[in-house]
A = this chain, B = another copy of it.
Amino acid sequence: MKDQTLLITGANGFTGRHACDYFASKGNRVVAAIRRQNSLPAISGVDPRVCDLTVKNEVLAMVDDISPDFVLHLAGKNSVPESWNDPLLYMEKNVLSTLTLLDALRNHPECRILIVGSRLKFPLVSFPYSPHPYSLSKTLEECAVLSWRELFHQHILLAEPSNLIGPGSSTGICALLARHIVNSEQGRGMNSFRISSRYDMCDFVDVRDAILAYDLILRKGESGRVYPICSGIECSLGDVVTSMLELGNVSIVLEMGNAPQSSSTDDDYSCEDLHEMGWKPQIPWEQSLVEIMEYFRNGGGKG
C-alpha cells in the first residue's frame, strides 16, 4: 500500500484517529476526510480534507481530486440511544452517505473500498425486526452496499467489528465508565453508573487490532465479502465493569437495567477468514482497559 493513497472518512472519530496514526506511520499517503475544519490534530503524513459526506458534489470533488487507491469508510453515527432520538439522521449518515461515497467512487473502478458495518445489524432473513434505529441503519447499509457492488462491480469489502475499545474518546461502555470513574476520582459527577445487565455477554477488540484487520482486508480481502472482527472471547459485562472498577480509586454503585445493550443477537460470529489471512488480536482486553483509564486520567477527551 506504500506510495498509494488511502482515504479515511470519519477520520476524527475514535477509530479514525487511530487509523490515521497507523497508516501514516506505515508510510501511506493518507487523506483524512473530516466534516469540520480543525477537528483533527495535526498528524505527520496525514492530509486533512473538509468534506460533508451528505453533500454529493463535495464528495465527488474530493474523490476526483485525490483519486484514492484505497478507502476506509469509518464515518457514520453509532450511538443506539441517539438513534432513537433522531432515526432519520442515522439513515442519512449510515445509509445515504455511504451510497454517496460509493457513487462518487464509480469513476475509480480500481479503488478498493472497506465499509465498516456493525455486529448490531439484524439478519435480513428474519426481517423486519430491528431492535433499534441504529441497527436498522446498519442493516440497510449492508444490504445496500452488497447489492450496489453486484450492480456496479466495484471492489467493495465489509468489516463487522464487535465492540472496539482502547484509548481515545468513544461512546462505548468502557470509555463511558472510565470517564465516570476518573470524574469521580476528581470529585466530579455521580457515584452510580447504569449498565443493561451484568449477564450480557460481550466481545471486545482493541481498536488497534481492528485497524490491523482493516489493513489486511483492504489489501487482501475478497470483494463482496463480510469480515467479522472479534476476539473470540465473550466476557460478561459484569466482569468487564468489575475489572474497570478495580482500576479506579473510588467506589461506584452499579445500577442495572434501562441502559442500551452492548451485546449482539448474532450467535454465529467467527473470524476464521481473518485468522486464515494471518490476523489475530494482540492486545488482551485487560490491557485495553488500563490504557483507557490512563487516557482519561491524562485529561483525554476534553479537547
Q: Could you tell me which A residues sit within 8 Å of B by CB distance?
A: 56, 87-88, 91-92, 95-96, 99-100, 103, 124-125, 127-130, 132-133, 136, 139-140, 143-144, 146-152
Asked whether, in the complex, the Cβ of B56 is within 8 Å of the Cβ of A88, the reply is yes
Contacts of A56 in B (CB 8 A): 88
Asked whether, in the complex, the Cβ of B128 is within 8 Å of the Cβ of A150, the reply is yes
Contacts of A95 in B (CB 8 A): 91, 95-96, 140
Contacts of A127 in B (CB 8 A): 124, 143, 146-147
In the complex, A125 Cα to B123 Cα: how many Å?
A: 10
In the complex, A149 Cα to B136 Cα: how many Å?
A: 11
Residue on B nearest A88 in the bound complex, by CB: B103
In the complex, A300 Cα to B55 Cα: how many Å?
A: 37
**3 residue pairs, one from A and one from B, having the closest CB atoms:** A128-B146, A88-B103, A128-B147
In the complex, A65 Cα to B37 Cα: how many Å?
A: 38
In the complex, A265 Cα to B129 Cα: how many Å?
A: 25
Contacts of A148 in B (CB 8 A): 87, 136
In the complex, A133 Cα to B149 Cα: how many Å?
A: 11
Asked whether, in the complex, the Cβ of A147 is within 8 Å of the Cβ of B125, the reply is no
In the complex, A140 Cα to B148 Cα: how many Å?
A: 12
Asked whether, in the complex, the Cβ of B151 is within 8 Å of the Cβ of A87, the reply is yes
What is the distance, in angstroms, from A59's C-beta to the closest C-beta of chain B?
10
Asked whether, in the complex, the Cβ of B125 is within 8 Å of the Cβ of A151, the reply is no
What is the distance, in angstroms, from A70's C-beta to the closest C-beta of chain B?
22
Asked whether, in the complex, the Cβ of A91 is within 8 Å of the Cβ of B99, the reply is yes
In the complex, A139 Cα to B92 Cα: how many Å?
A: 17
- Give 15 new A-B contacts, CB below 8 A, not counting A124-B125, A124-B143: A87-B152, A88-B103, A91-B144, A92-B96, A95-B140, A124-B127, A125-B125, A127-B146, A127-B147, A128-B147, A128-B149, A129-B147, A129-B150, A136-B148, A140-B144
